[in-house]
Structures are given as structure tokens and as C-alpha cells.
Amino acid sequence: MLGALPALAAVEFDAIYGDGMVLQRGREVVVRGTTDKPSEPVTVSFNGQTVKAETRGRQWQAVLKPMKANATGQVLEAKQKSASATVQNVVVGEVWVASGQSNMLWRLNQTPGNAQTIAQSANEHFRFFHSEPQVHTSPPRYNAEQLKRVQEKRMYEGKWAVSTPASSPRMSAVGYYFGQALQKQLGVPVGVIHVSLGGSNMLAWIPRDVVRKEYPGCQGANWVKSKYASAWVRGRAQQNVGPGGDFSLHPYAPSYLYETGLEKWEGFPVAGAIWYQGESDAEILDNEQNKKLLKDIITSWRDKLGNPALPFIQVQLPRINDKSKLRAYWPEFRQVQAEVAGELPGVSCVVTLDLGSTNSDVHPPRKVEVGERLAATALKEVYGKDVAASGPVINEFKVKGGKVTVSFKNAAGLKTTDGAAPVGFELAGSDKKFAPAVAEIKGDKVILTSETIKAPKFLRYGWAVFMTPNLVNEAGLPTAPCAATDGKAARKKTKRK
């Protein structure tokens, strides 16, 4: 038995450190690894620094002082008297996490018309760590090897790579477009750490200590019977493990994806996170529950990654032409996402109502715009760049003589994409029974009227599972959906940040 165990190298880096990696600028950088000779001191050298590591048992850890961006690849070395280990071509720049479910996982080579993009993907200054899922949740029952992988938590395999036509095809399309756009605008190396899984629910991405405290009824296999498991998620788990299977060892089990995909990055400094998820949890009509889950992801990641102000940019659910119950509550989930962005500092919400599928495909093909809108939001909100990052957002409205005048933020050049009247506005009286409104653009405002609502009090916009929105600003960015609100509430929402 002992002879069958792999020999531990004299000194080596943990798996997250690899050739072609990017280290975060402006922050202390933790470097970790193992040694089979803990009595020998370990020193770590990089970028003109040499620091002594702290060793506990076989584990060692060193901390590099904050560094400026550096696009020249250098050697990261860990050295002992008897041995050394190196990581080649390491640069310093901006590092982001990209996570979520299948629309974040959706690869560059799965996206229509991307052959030319892949052919032109070489960029020495854009690198990524693609965590490739080894077990998916497609309907068939898991075989013995898949069950073993899940049990042993060998869910992901991945390494750092410089973007080239050979390495980019399996990269997250959204992560790729985000990272490339960010790199070109910032002019420094950018690294994207991608880890996601199709169909995954929020509870699977929350660390175990938080789940124990905040979701006590979800321990072990009980999660699949809890109110947090949607019918779709429950059904997929049942398909995968089969009758009598252990639901605690399914990828959707609480904390499982965090532990297998993100836990190893704890303490590693990153600039922020982009998040494309919600399709699974949106099946459950419970805004408070979904807000709590989303907030717990954000606050726990901030804690574990060592940055209480970690920027978190989420993709708001797009449209989908699907009348099934599975998608019925997407407007409510968009509201959840917008409210979390309004209530937590450093959290943003990218509108994609215009980018979704015109059929029932939950994987809309337009990933370019999603990635670029995420990048624009990061450039504006995180890096302070003067770029267009948001479409019109309802700021307030006033009622006079049956007419409603709607004001917006980010409304310069207000127009429609098709030259027709704006669509998607609804009005209601005190009873909150909404009816479509006739809309007309007047400068940077919209005037609403309704033959059926004589005394309008409430307004909403974009409250539909599927629609074709046409109201944009001069940058061509779409108007943000707005849940039922009165004029006073609208003003408070836009000033909350």
C-alpha cells in the first residue's frame, strides 16, 4: 500500500500556481505549496522579491508584497537547500473569477460563428485558468467512474494557459470576451479564473460553514427535499444518482461546487468576480429566499477571498421565448438581481433583456455582447473609466392629468432601435392591475398614457419572460427592467447606492 502512494516532491507549488499565470497587482500575493522536508527553510523569489515562507507540517506559505502591473513573464521560484520548484512566464495584472451555470460554462467553440474569433485569439497578455468539469449533470444516470469522481471531489481539472488558437476554444465564451475586452482597455495583463457548472443552483456555491449556520435543514442528503431545491434541480439529481443514491454526493449538493472549484483559491487575491447564474433558482417564486442565497454567495466569497469589498458583477437573466412553468418567474428573479445590486455596495447588474433567445433555448448565442457589457461595467465601476456601461434606468415618474412623465438616468440620446414607439411599459392604479401603456419619447423622457388606467399610480417596465425591447440610449444599451413601483420608490432605488 505504501509503495503505491505517489512520492511527494521535495518542494512544490499548489495546483493553482502554474506556467503562464497572472498575479493580482496592488495586493499582497499569497504563494502556497508543500514540502517533504519541513525542517529546511523555504524561500520564495519573484519580481525582485525574496521572502521566507512560514512552514507548518508539510505546508508552506509566503506572502509577496504588492506589485505594479508587469507584462514581462518572470520566474516564480520556491527554493530549499536540497531542491527547488519554478513556475514560468508569470505576469502581474488584473485577475477575475468567472462563475455560474451553463451560460458561463458555454465554450467559445460552442458559440456560432466563432471560428474567426478563435483563429485570432492569440494574446500574450490575456491568460485564463479553465476549470473543466469532469462530471456534468446531463440526464443519464452516473456510471461507477462518475460516482467515484464526485465522491472523491475530483470534479474539475484545469491549469493556466496563455490565450492562443489552441488553448481558447474550450474557454468560457463570456469569460473570454470579458477578459479580452478588459485587457485591451486597461493595457495590463488580465487573467480569468473560470469555474462553473451547467444547471447549478446557488446553494452549491456557498461555503460549508455558511450553509451550516444559515441553512441548517440542508445538511447531507436532506437538501434535495428542502425548499431550496427547485423541481428541475431535484429531478436532475434523481436522474443522476438513481434510486437509493446518495444525494449528498451530487454536484448540486450544498457547498459541493464551492469546495471542488473555488475553495483552493481562498486567500488568492483577485480584482473581482463575474457571475452568470439564476436559471435554476428562478423556478422558485420566493424573492426573499433567492435574495438571501445570492447575498450569501457574495458576502461569503468576499470573506473567503480576503476582500470585503470584492466587486461582484452579475448578468441579469435575459429574455426567453418559453411559456413553461420553468421560466415563469424570470421577471421576479431579475428583480432579485437588481435589488441585490442596489442593496450591497460593489455589486452591479448587467442588463441582457435584449440578448436572450427568441425561442425556448436557455443558451442564447449572443455571448459577445454579454462579455463586453460585463467588461464595460468593470471598467466604469471598478476602474473608474469614462465608458458607457448602462442603458437607461428609471429614476422617477410624475403623474399629471392622466399622463405619466418618466425620467431616467443614462438617458442621453434616448431612442428606439426600430424607430417605433417604446414597448414594455405598463401602468396600474391603486389596485396594481397593470395594463399596457402607450409610450412616446420626448427628449430624454418618456410620456405614458393608457385608455384603461385613468388614475395611474404604479409603473413597471420589461416585466415579461419574453419581449423585444427597443428603448435604448445613444450607446445602444437597453433600458433596465423595473418592477412595480411608484414615483417615490423609483427615486429611492436609484439613489440607494
Task: Dump pLDDT digits (tens) for 43-66.
Answer: 999 999 999 999 999 999 999 999
For residue 448, list its beta bridge partners: 404, 439
What percent of the chain is modeled with pLDDT above 70? 96
Provide the CATH topology of domain 8-91. Immunoglobulin-like (2.60.40)
Cross-strand partners of 33: 13, 60
**Range 240-263 burial, b when 16+ CB lie within 10 A, else e:** bbeeebebbbbbbbbbbbbbbbbe
pLDDT exceeds cutoff 60 at 216: yes
Is the pLDDT assigned to residue 175 strictly greater than 60?
yes
Mean pLDDT of the 350-376 span: 97
Which residue, chain included where needed, has cell 416585466?
Answer: 463
Q: In this structure, what is the dihedral angle of CA atoms 172, 173, 179, 184, given to the nearest 10 degrees?
A: 150
Percentage of the chain with pLDDT > 90? 93
In CATH terms, the superfamily for domain 93-381 is SGNH hydrolase (3.40.50.1110)
Q: What is the mean pLDDT of the chain?
A: 95
Pairing of strands 272-276, 312-315: parallel
pLDDT of residue 494: 52
- Alpha-carbon distance of 328 to 282, in angstroms, equals 8
pTM above 0.85, yes or no: yes
Per the CB < 8 A criterion, the answer to whether 44 and 64 are in contact is yes
User: What distance in Å separates the CA atoms of residue 426 and residue 441, rounded to the nearest whole number?
Assistant: 15
Whole-angstrom Cα distance, residue 262 to residue 254? 14
Among 182, 187, 189, 68, smallest CA distance to 125 is for 189
In this model, does residue 6 exceed pLDDT 70?
Answer: no
Write out the three cell numbers for 472: 435604448
What would the grid cell of residue 80 be? 530549499
pLDDT, tens digit (0-9, with 9 covering 90-100), for 260-279: 999 999 999 999 999 999 99
- Res. 478 pLDDT band, cuts 50 70 90: very high
Please state, as a whole number, how many other Cβ atoms lie within 10 Å of the Cβ of residue 34. Answer: 20
Residue-by-residue DSSP string for 307-364: -TT--EEEEPP------SGGGTTHHHHHHHHHHHHHHSTTEEEE--TTTS-SSS-SS-
Q: Hey, where are the domains in the chain? A: 8-91, 93-381, 394-495
Quick check: do 8-91 and 93-381 share a fold? no
Closest by Cα among 4, 78, 77, 5 to 37: 78
Q: CA–CA separation, 80 vs 67, rounded Å?
A: 24
